[in-house]
A and B are shown apart, each in its own frame.
Chain A
Amino acid sequence: MIDTLKSICDQCAHLRDPQLEFIPQESQRQKEIILRDLRELIAAASNEQERSVVLLAGSLIEAALYSFIDGQSEYISQRRGEFTFHREHDLSSFVGIFNRWFSDLGRIPDIIVAYRNTTHINRELEFDEDICPRAARDLLRQLDALLGSLESYARI
């Protein structure tokens, strides 16, 4: 027996009690969107809805990175001399920026982007038939770890 999604959620403090202090004050809309999606994620996980968890957790990783990088654009600019945050880019680009400039907070592996891309049926078919339960569990844990590291960064 593998862990249920509900039991994983129960172990994930940052999913159950998100602080989201890394989101700038002026970005309340982003915070509301993330909180809404987190509530739906917990509900989906409680009902063991693996596909919904994959979709929501992948989307939340993207939303968390988007909001964090958006708030850190000035910091990256100071470090590299110049930086423009392209808001229209996708998860792959946000992961690249995060891994490059915030690797001290932990890095997001390529497989997470691949899991998120199973949103598209052609991408899901590239994996074996157990990809959905596996991706759901890894995405939940990775999202919790990401939120934890972003929150601890915001408190420094």
Chain B
Amino acid sequence: MANLATFDRNARSREARIRALLDDLVQAHIEARPLTKMALAVWYQKSPSSETQFLLELIVADGFDFKGFHDDRLSLLWKSGSEGQPYANVKVTSVDYFLDLLAGHPAEAAQYHEGTLEVLYFNKDLLSKDPSYSTLLDLFHIVTDPGGLMKGWYVTEDEFEKSSTVQALLSRRGSARPELGIVKVWESPDLEHCRGILHVEIQGKWLPLSPQGVRAYTYYADAQSGRRAYFIFEGGALYEVLRFEVKTAPEYASRFGLLEQAPDDRYPEVYLRSVRPPARPAA
């Protein structure tokens, strides 16, 4: 058993080291190509014990039309001047070319997205700008939102009092990036009340907030000091914040499909009540 444990540690250690070296290479490429933007970097045909690793980089390069892949092979120890193993076979092309390949030659494209792979880097903003690009999120199994996540914004007491319609509140947000999210854990039968796990976007993924983290938000401070606070969500659901409560719930991560389990299983929950903007008297 001790040998097995040692073997597992060694294998994990090698995988972590290879991942770190590939990460560094990707970061170096992001830095070295100021005229292009890295959209996705994938460690495909992943086999950490092999002498050669395979890296696919998809970039967005305005004004440059890729007609194929740019290939490179180098030692992953390039920084130290070594030319020894492990090696990386790097294939670089544009997102557009890759999507063409996917549509026209799916068998050839399959080698990059089938089998064991790990996404080392993705730029959610780039991959979300064009609807066709966002297919890559599914293709490479990049999950950025837990199921049922509602994304939205904080509405202050003052703004709520001045508002007349949900549409007005929403339109003021325009295309602004949502500030907060909740995954509902309970809802009353009449849909008037609900409780949700607070989420925040970190490196493109929506992850549960920590009990400490929530304290740094204005909506929390306002609610704790007795002010009314409201959340409006994409789609128009508008809620008043009733209170926050930290819950220890080891089952939450798997039960609600959270993208990350809190280290201590403690999640700040928000209690909400559905509201409508105050009615404006007719002029």
Bound pair: A and B? yes
- Interface residues of chain A, those whose CB is within 8 Å of chain B, are 1-3, 8, 80-84, 86, 88-89, 95-96, 99-100, 106-111, 114, 126-131, 134, 137-138, 141-142, 144-145
Give the chain A neighbours of B173 by CB distance below 8 A. Answer: 127-128
Assess whether A134 is in contact with B154, with CB atoms less than 8 Å apart: yes
Between-chain CB contacts (< 8 Å), 24 pairs: A1-B157, A1-B158, A1-B227, A2-B158, A3-B218, A8-B221, A82-B79, A83-B20, A88-B31, A96-B203, A106-B212, A107-B202, A107-B207, A107-B213, A109-B200, A110-B200, A111-B179, A126-B174, A127-B177, A130-B172, A137-B221, A138-B216, A138-B218, A141-B217
> Bound state CA distance, A142 and B24, in angstroms?
28
Question: Known contacts being A110-B177, A127-B176, is A2 close to B203, with CB within 8 Å?
Answer: no
* B16 within 8 Å of A (CB atoms): yes
Give the chain B neighbours of A89 by CB distance below 8 A. Answer: 31
Give the chain B neighbours of A131 by CB distance below 8 A. Answer: 176
Interface size on B, residues (CB 8 A): 38
Assess whether A99 is in contact with B203, with CB atoms less than 8 Å apart: yes
- Using CB atoms, name the residue of chain B closest to A149: B212
Per-residue 0/1 for B175-197: is the Cβ within 8 Å of any A Cβ (1 yes, 0 no)? 11101000000000000000000
> Bound state CA distance, A129 and B158, in angstroms?
14
> Bound state CA distance, A121 and B30, in angstroms?
25
Assess whether B172 is in contact with A129, with CB atoms less than 8 Å apart: yes
Q: How far is the CB of A28 from chain B (nearest CB, A)?
A: 28
Assess whether B176 is in contact with A141, with CB atoms less than 8 Å apart: no
> Bound state CA distance, A108 and B21, in angstroms?
24
Question: B154-178: which have CB < 8 Å to A?
Answer: 154, 156-159, 172-177
Q: How far is the CB of B14 from chain A (nearest CB, A)?
A: 10
Give the chain B neighbours of A1 by CB distance below 8 A. Answer: 157-158, 227
- Using CB atoms, name the residue of chain B closest to A145: B216
- Using CB atoms, name the residue of chain B closest to A129: B172
* B111 within 8 Å of A (CB atoms): no
Out of B24, B159, B216, which one reaches A82, CB within 8 Å?
A: B24
Out of A2, A80, A108, which one reaches B20, CB within 8 Å?
A: A80
Q: How far is the CB of B175 from chain A (nearest CB, A)?
A: 6
* B49 within 8 Å of A (CB atoms): no
- Using CB atoms, name the residue of chain B closest to A131: B176
- Using CB atoms, name the residue of chain A closest to B171: A128
Per-residue 0/1 for B1-42: is the Cβ within 8 Å of any A Cβ (1 yes, 0 no)? 000000000000000110011011001000100000000000
Assess whether B176 is in contact with A128, with CB atoms less than 8 Å apart: yes
Give the chain B neighbours of A96 by CB distance below 8 A. Answer: 203
Q: How far is the CB of A93 from chain B (nearest CB, A)?
A: 8
Give the chain A neighbours of B154 by CB distance below 8 A. Answer: 134
Question: Known contacts being A3-B222, A134-B218, is A110 close to B21, with CB within 8 Å?
Answer: no
* B210 within 8 Å of A (CB atoms): yes
- Using CB atoms, name the residue of chain B closest to A86: B31
Q: How far is the CB of B21 from chain A (nearest CB, A)?
A: 7
* B201 within 8 Å of A (CB atoms): yes
* B50 within 8 Å of A (CB atoms): no
Q: How far is the CB of A120 from chain B (nearest CB, A)?
A: 14
Out of A3, A81, A88, which one reaches B225, CB within 8 Å?
A: A3
Give the chain A neighbours of B210 by CB distance below 8 A. Answer: 106
Give the chain A neighbours of B207 by CB distance below 8 A. Answer: 107
Q: Which 9 A-B pairs have the closest CB atoms?
A: A80-B20, A128-B172, A141-B216, A109-B200, A137-B218, A127-B176, A110-B201, A145-B216, A81-B17
> Bound state CA distance, A88 and B34, in angstroms?
12
Most chain A CB within a 10 A radius of its CB, from B177, B210, B212, B227? B177
Assess whether A83 is in contact with B204, with CB atoms less than 8 Å apart: no
> Bound state CA distance, A110 and B158, in angstroms?
26
- Using CB atoms, name the residue of chain A closest to B121: A96
- Using CB atoms, name the residue of chain A closest to B209: A109
> Bound state CA distance, A86 and B24, in angstroms?
11
Question: Known contacts being A109-B202, A130-B159, A145-B215, is A83 close to B225, with CB within 8 Å?
Answer: no
Q: How far is the CB of B110 from chain A (nearest CB, A)?
A: 30
> Bound state CA distance, A140 and B31, in angstroms?
30
